[in-house]
Amino acid sequence: MKQKIIVVSGASSGFGRLTAQKLHESGHTVIGTSRNPKTEEAFALLPLDVTSDESVSNFVSEVREQHGRIDVLINNAGRSHNSLLEETTLKDARVIFEVNFWGMVRMNRAVLPLMRKQGNGLVITVSSLAGLVGTPGQGFYGAAKHAIEGYSETLRSELANSPVEVALIEPGFFKTNIKEAMVRNGEPISDYDDVRDIVSQKLDEGFEDGGDPAEVVAAIEKAVANNGKTFRQLVGKDAKTIARLKRWLPESWFLDGTKKQFGL
């Protein structure tokens, strides 16, 4: 496989770190990012805040100066939450969108001109099953991922006559440390007292019983190797099953199934 210059945002933990390690081991030049890089890694790990225009611009300029190009951008940086929609403060909701959606947009806007100029490029964004299906307790995370899905589908169409490809990775529940980084609780509303704890518990159980993150890393590797030939990759048995059920079941049946799954 031809060596590529690959940027992985959110590479200090979770999918991002595992992906950066694997791609580095495969011989690629990997530049990972973290808001506060504190550890030594086999791959380069540089500071980057995807919520800051200045930080993104400075980072891309530094990579361009050092390597001259960016062949693959993997948008992985993200925040999630375990809170009901009405109980999530607007401040927390904006943080979730700022990191997950607008952070991706900032990175793309900074990198796409370089990719078009160099005559090739691939943008891979880690979306989620939550970008296809509404998940109780993660409404704003899901809304941000739904936005990523629509944005990326449009971007792929608009770049059809360019040398840049676009791909999405859509994991279900996997065992990562995302649970520890979740925005939780918010402003309690008494009407939700009988559902708040059960929804939170079901979400935590989903991550605890989730699949091996190596599956997600393998899907990203596949996208890098085939240059985004497959636009969407659902990853995980739960993601594939639930997406299939939503496609084929009557809507009322599917929504009833979601409520049952979360004990509502």
Which sequence positions are flagged as catalytic? 12, 127, 141, 145
The CA distance from 19 to 213, in Å, is 9
C-alpha distance across the termini of the chain, in Å: 49
Neighbours of 67 (CB within 10 A): 14
93 near 27, Cβ under 8 Å?
Answer: no
Phi, psi of 227, deg, nearest 5 = 55, 45
Q: Answer yes or no: are the C-beta atoms of 27 and 1 closer than 8 Å.
A: yes
What is the C-alpha separation between 204 and 214, in angstroms, rounded? 20
Query: Nearest to residue 14, comparing CAs of 148, 143, 256, 176?
Result: 176
Token pair listed for 142: 């899901």
CB atoms within 10 A of CB 113: 11
CA distance 142 to 132: 8
